[in-house]
Amino acid sequence: MERESSETILSIQGLNVKIGSSTILKNFDFQISKKEVHALVGESGSGKSTFASTVLGLLNEEASVTWEKFSIFSQNIPSGDFSLWKNWRGKRISLIPQTAAIGLHPFLSIGSQILEYFSVIQPEFANPETGIRLLKEFGLSDPEASWKARPHQLSGGERQRILVLLSVYSGAELILADEPTSALDPTTGKSILDLLRTRVKDLGAGLLFISHDLSSARELADTITVMKSGEKLETLKSPNGAWEPHLEYSRKLFTLDENPA
């Protein structure tokens, strides 16, 4: 486990999650710092989404959760205690959903939804001038028209850019992105991830990127943690853009990504 510093946002040791007789996460360790993009990769069923739900404080009520240490925003949390999350979720911790169907109301204009969101989260952004400026910043080709539009009148990429905008400018210190571009074509997805990486680092947040798409993780992340069957296999750093996994399972994942069938 890495040593914590004043830059550390989240540090977890010995996390265990069980649902009934099934162990979903076992003795799991994780750490993320300010301005860091930390990707969590692994096969379907490896426990990635369960970990995201744990960080969001949104685990199923039937889940049994324990940990040796859980430090977030410099606070040490007693094992299994999620009472503080109601004050953090949406403010200090933000989620970028996979699709606009989850994050945008289908019958309300984009502008009205942005105003409503920021009026609660970041009041200084809750005005049309700022909203339109942010739409332009996030690559909407006609921000004035987009402001007046309903979600179905925009492309999937435009809708996803708006979800990223809302999360990044929520003021959150920790942003979770769980397969945020899985429904988009590769070119659009890459441009959105590049924008997300830049804005997260500019604003000093940490980004937890969860994906089965190792190619995106390799391009986006500073750190990659490889999971299998609810356990952490290894955590990799890439200071020079080269990833060098040590374990056989990780090497196979990276080899498959480099040489797809």
Would you state the pLDDT for residue 3? Answer: 59
Residues linked to residue 19 through DSSP beta bridges, in sequence order? 22, 63
Spatial neighbors of 104 by CB under 8 A, at least 6 apart, are: 110, 113, 151, 159, 162, 163
Cβ neighbours around 171 below 10 Å, total: 15
Whether pLDDT at 259 is above 80: no
Cβ neighbours around 38 below 10 Å, total: 22
Q: Which domains does the chain have, with CATH numbers?
A: 8-107+166-258 (3.40.50.300), 109-149 (no CATH)
Which helix or strand (DSSP H or E) is residue 85 part of? helix 85-88
Would you state the pLDDT for residue 181? Answer: 83
Question: Residue range 202-217: average pLDDT?
Answer: 91
Confidence class for position 254, pLDDT limits 50, 70, 90: confident
Average pLDDT, the chain: 91
The pTM score is: 0.90
What percent of the chain shows pLDDT beyond 90? 70
Would you state the pLDDT for residue 258? Answer: 64
Q: Where do we find the tokens 């797809």?
A: 260
Q: Tens digit of pLDDT for each residue in 131-155?
A: 999 999 999 999 999 999 999 999 9
Confidence class for position 190, pLDDT limits 50, 70, 90: confident
Beta-strand relationship, 223-228 and 37-41 = parallel
Two tokens at 12? 């977890």
User: What length does the chain have?
Assistant: 261
Would you state the pLDDT for residue 260? Answer: 57
Distance in angstroms between the alpha carbons of the first and the last residue of the chain:
35
